[in-house]
Structure 1
Amino acid sequence: MNIKQNLQQIKQSCAAAAQRSGRAPEAVKIVAVSKTVDNERIRELADAGHTVFGENWVQEVVAKQAVLGLDLEWHFIGYLQRNKVRQLVGRVALIHSLDRWSLAEEINRCAVKADLEIAVLVQVNVTGEESKSGINPDETQSFLRELAGFPLVRVEGLMTMAPYSVNPEQSRPIFRELRVIRDEARQKLGLKLPHLSMGMSGDYLVAVEEGADIIRVGTAIFGQRTCHLRGV
């Protein structure tokens, strides 16, 4: 499998999808999801010029940064335990998964202690699935309003996950709903919320067509994962 070719194909298809939605072809940031991916393949992609990677587990972020020693932009995209937040301070460019108030309080506490802004996306559970984390859509505006009390927690936008489906079109109304939630929050709260993180390997093109400017793609780049080791 040629991961460089895979990435190039994704870039080309994303550019076309962005243009279909009336945006510039370079409007979409591709987060290469590297959970359980070995350092050699990450380095191979970095050598090809790709610098944005996403991890689901804090210990993988720490371990890979220590070994790779590369100037990469890391995103945290998984469920985040409160007792792990301090390990991410200064390590990641963006936390995609702010999904509850207790986590917001801990992120703020760590930001204040470090005197450092922490950029986050608020995760919204658009479908209401019990198996997924996230803020209830009806509570998103009030959650965002309360976050304004944490000046070092910089809210960059919203994130959601669609249920897995063999038909990516089934994800379209979910992505469209997140865009509507974002746009309404912009209008009523006066927030910028520039980013929508939505879409994964199976449905990223639909997500881009519906307004995503950050997509999280792992399998389509690196292939199917064969292990679940966290300390790579």
Structure 2
Amino acid sequence: MSDAAISEDMVLGGRLRLRQPTSGHRAGHDAILLAAATAARPGDRVVDLGAGVGTAGLALARRVDDLALMLVEREPHLASLARDNARANDLRAEVAVLDIAADAAAFAAAGLGPDSVDVVLMNPPFHDAARHRASPDAARAGAHMATTTTLELWTHAARRMLKSGGVLTLIWRADGLSEVLAALGRGFGSLALQPVHGQAGKPAIRILVRAVKGGRAPTQILPGVVLNEAAGVPNDDVSRVLTGQGALALAAP
């Protein structure tokens, strides 16, 4: 990919500089909210599945020091940009070019064997092809459109690599909550859910979910995140989160 097809953008209120393609899927609120919803501690081994150019994983690493971070991305050109972005932001991260649907042997060869990871975060493609027209841009369509097996494949990969008691955090469309609960029904528990509303008084558009491998605690539904007030003015608390000045309630231990 030529340099002409790459832009350099600042996110997290200028705290994170990203090189990313000018077309296709680009860094947005979903990745930053995912990072802000992820609980991690210094020293944790953390995997960002389907990392793209590294937005969510690197945003988490900017908030939490000394993570052992791995960015997993199947597209070599995006993985290369993720590697460059980690270096440019002086953040330590390994990068693996790996398909989420690869078998356990392929993950182990990349250093991601069973029961080896503390935290997984992921922003899978979640648009329903039956209700959303795919973008003519192949890269954008691949990053956004889900299939009937997408969520099961991604949660299976996370479940396999997480240690017992390890934590998965994901973002999905709010009207697909039943799909998330079904996918997490095997091997995960202690769910915590935090809806994301585009505007106050409107239905949620996203759902952030934290799940614990082997967890047994009751499910919790936390107060929703509101991006914009009813008048369309950005919510102050969320604006601080989006500029890297705080985390969401879901990230609390």
Q: What's the TM-score, normalizing by structure 1?
A: 0.38
Whose strand proportion is higher, 1 or 2?
Answer: 2
| TM-score, length basis structure 2 | 0.35
* More helix by percentage: 1
Which structure would you say has the larger RCO, counting Cα contacts within 8 Å and 6 or more residues apart?
Answer: 1
